[in-house]
Amino acid sequence: MKNEIRIKIDYPKTVYSLLNQNIVNQLNMVIQEFINYQKQLVQQDINYTLDILDEQHNYNDYISYVFYISINTGGAHPNQIITTLNYDRRKNKMITINDLNKNDILNVICTESRKQLQKNENIASNPKSMQLMMEGTIPNKNNYKNFIFGEKGLIIFFQQYQLAPYSSGILQTTIPYSSLKNEMNDL
């Protein structure tokens, strides 16, 4: 039997051409990586699947998308990945962690995230998970690149295994805007 590939994606479409183009580019990159990876695998009789679901969030002038990516390449379980996009309608500009990396924002996000994550029983009860969480929340851009503008604050998404074992799932924290007001003045 031959390996089969199934790809299921709903591309969201907005009235903003820059945002639409970034959505297409981001999702096409995921598709291409999936296809390239699948070509390297030699397992037979595997149905390789890629599923991408999206969730839109609106806050003030920002439109944010969370893309939930599930990739099955024949392992014990599908790989779950998160990626995000943020768009400023007023400025017609995509917003990334580089735009937020002003003043002391990464240190504020780090401190707030750690406070919240230390309350997670899966992390707090396991010294190895606590160590992994501390390493995965070091204040560098890569650890916090997946964020959206939520109603109550900046929502940070952490990849599986970034902070805890697979069984903990994809973790997130919400950093209240009140904690970030001095750091986000330029946006």
Q: What is the pLDDT of residues 25-58, one digit of tens each?
A: 999 999 999 988 877 766 666 778 999 999 999 9
Q: What is the 3-state secondary structure (H, E, C) of 105-143?
A: HHHHHHHHHHHHHCCCHHHHCCHHHHHHHHHHCCCCHHH
The structural domains of the chain, with segments of one domain joined by +, span 4-94, 97-180
For domain 4-94, the CATH superfamily is: Fervidobacterium nodosum Rt17-B1 like (3.30.565.40)
**pLDDT of 74-110, one tens digit each?**
777 788 999 999 999 999 999 999 888 676 889 999 9
Q: Does domain 97-180 have CATH number 3.90.640.20?
A: yes
Strands 79-88 and 62-72: antiparallel
Predicted confidence (pLDDT) at residue 187 exceeds the cutoff of 80: no
SS3 168: helix
User: Residue 1: pLDDT band by 50, 70, 90 thresholds?
Assistant: very low
Predicted confidence (pLDDT) at residue 70 exceeds the cutoff of 80: yes
SS3 144: helix
Evaluate the CA torsion angle 129, 130, 131, 135 in order and state its sign: positive
Which H helix or E strand runs over 67?
strand 62-72
Name the nearest CA neighbour of 164 among 104, 121, 106.
Answer: 121
